[in-house]
Amino acid sequence: MQISPNRVFIQKIEEIEDPFCPQCLTVDIRFPNYLIPAEVTTYVSFGLKLPVDAVRHIIRIEPLIDNALMLHHILIFLGGGTVPENNNPLIGGMPKSTYYKPIFAWAPGADRFDLPPNAGFNVASDPNKDHYLILDNHYNNPTKLTNQRDSSGIRIYLDTPRANNASFSLIGIVGGISIPIERNLYRQGGYYNISPALPIPLNVFASLPHMHKHGQKIWLEVVRGGTTFKEYGKLLSWDYNSQKVYPETGTLLGGDILYTQCLYNTVGVTGGNIVGGEDTSQEMCLMGLAYYPDVGVSQLISFSGFLAPVLDCDYPCKNYTKALTPFPPI
């Protein structure tokens, strides 16, 4: 993995006349003709202070995709506190600190992300709160091509505050995945408990399923009072090149248990086990959920453990056997 010294920049800031939001301030944030290293995997992230002098809500995020061949995904985070020096690299790899708040993820096939009319991602003018944005690009270059460049990024729409602050969580597992070769319908996953202290219901309005190229099926099951209440992000025919944000309705309540489950197929794969990781050749089992209000839910939805691997367990795979990590594949 390589951290590049290339710089990112705010390309355009303007008030726009748009039937969608005539009063919005739009900000284009792009990588400036970025030279992609001849490495299999490159992550590069930057911190950028947003041009706001009052509280605003992000109400739409549009991907601006240039080199789709090389770009594996874009992650967008908000951060508070001290702003990293503008246009300087912040970190390598996906941000892992709970200090950064994820708000959006683009993957192949995804389109723009519109928030509901009564919610938006809060951007503050207070430097102690969320007032800078982290743009995190992951490039996948398996054949180590040279002279590949990219100017991908995002366009965000900033409006006056709406009734609710929105939030976004990635619920699932990456570490702990281990899939043997020559397996079909091989279930891996994790479970999360929502604290009974959750003060009010969370209204879910979007889901974003994410696996890599060995994925077959994915879903997040909400178990309430011992029975299945709802499923989010259910895809029973996974297509790596068609990863979309899906509209949802429903709630999360204190005491709910969330099971993110993924089925994989490694028939015909050679080499060793497919493990969890950030490379495209590795695997993930993640479900993004967008909801409102923002109640600091990162403190209330907590990873509880891994589901034991199960072979030939097709959807709905009502097997909730828990496992310690690391656990032996089957």
**pLDDT tens digits, residue range 61-111?**
999 999 999 998 898 888 776 655 444 444 454 454 445 788 988 988 888
| pLDDT reported for residue 303 | 86
Strand partners, 120: 165
| Spatial separation of the C-alpha atoms in residues 224 and 238, rounded to whole Å | 27
Listed by start position, the domains of the chain span 9-164, 167-323
Backbone angles phi, psi at 230, to 5 degrees: -160, 155
| Spatial separation of the C-alpha atoms in residues 152 and 112, rounded to whole Å | 14
Indicate the average pLDDT of the chain.
Answer: 85
CATH 3.40.920.10 fits 9-164, yes or no: no
Q: Check the CA dihedral 156-157-158-160 and report its sign.
A: negative
Give Cα 242 to chain centroid, integer Å. 15
| Spatial separation of the C-alpha atoms in residues 57 and 103, rounded to whole Å | 12
Residues 6+ apart with CB under 8 A from 309: 178, 179, 186, 187, 188, 323, 327, 329, 330
9-164 shares its CATH topology with 167-323: yes
Instruction: Name the band, by pLDDT with cuts 50, 70 and 90, for residue 4.
Output: very low
Pair type for strands 274-275 and 186-194: unpaired
The CATH class for the domain spanning 167-323 reads: mainly beta
Taking residues 23-38, report their average pLDDT: 85
For the beta carbon of residue 199, count every other beta carbon within 10 angstroms.
9
Residues 6+ apart with CB under 8 A from 143: none
Backbone angles phi, psi at 87, to 5 degrees: 75, 15
Highest mean pLDDT among 39-43, 132-136, 282-286: 282-286
Least confident of 44-48, 170-174, 240-244, 250-254: 44-48
| pLDDT reported for residue 299 | 61
Find, among 58, 103, 86, the residue nearest to 208 by Cα: 103
Strand partners, 136: 45, 75
Taking residues 228-233, report their average pLDDT: 96
Find, among 128, 172, 168, the residue nearest to 297 by Cα: 168
Q: Does residue 95 or residue 21 have the better pLDDT?
A: 21
Instruction: Name the band, by pLDDT with cuts 50, 70 and 90, for residue 43.
Output: confident
